[in-house]
Amino acid sequence: MITNVNLKEKYNLECFKHLLEKYRDYKSIYREIKINSILGKKCQFEITDIYPPLLCNLCSDDNPPSTMIELKSVAFKINEITLIVNSNLLVDNIQINIEILETQNGKILESLIDLVVINPLIMKTVNEYFIVGFYASYPKYDISA
């Protein structure tokens, strides 16, 4: 499943360095991006060889995840990341290809998507001092009403 990441603001590519530098393709892609920025060009790049897998949570809007991933709360993993970076090295758009896992939160996420409670799927970034991951977000509902 391919989905967009909801960016609250435009982040500099350096904010993603900690997350992406562990993947083999990133260093060569980073050089190409820097050259394109010098030439004033926007560029798109993909990281398709994501190993180790990037595991992500499912959280409500009012309770975002901490920076540490708990294996019991994992809902999906990311298979591919596509970033569009402008000439100022700001990330304009992120698309991720996810695989929903057979965990408790994975089953909940799949149910929320099937019931069209969260459609389109809202992906957000986990921030500390830099981007450390992504999570699926759903609105909090008052089920007592």
- Report pLDDT digits (tens) over 58-88: 887 777 676 667 777 899 999 999 999 999 9
User: Is residue 144 included in any domain, yes or no?
Assistant: no
Is the pLDDT score of 104 beyond 80? yes
Tell me the average pLDDT across 109-134: 78
User: Is residue 79 included in any domain, yes or no?
Assistant: yes
Longest distance between any two alpha carbons in the chain, whole Å: 57
**CA 134 to CA 94: how far, in whole Å?**
11
User: Is residue 145 included in any domain, yes or no?
Assistant: no
Is the pLDDT score of 101 beyond 90? yes
Range of the domain at 85: 2-138
Tell me the average pLDDT across 23-39: 86
Structure tokens at 47: 């990281």
Is the pLDDT score of 122 beyond 80? no
Tell me the average pLDDT across 112-134: 76
Q: DSSP secondary structure string, 71-93?
A: GGGEEEEEEEEEEEE-TTSBEEE
User: Is residue 143 included in any domain, yes or no?
Assistant: no
pTM of the model: 0.81
Better-predicted residue by pLDDT, 88 or 124: 88
Is the pLDDT score of 144 beyond 60? no
Nearest to 9 by CA among 94, 81, 95: 94
Name the domain count of the chain: 1
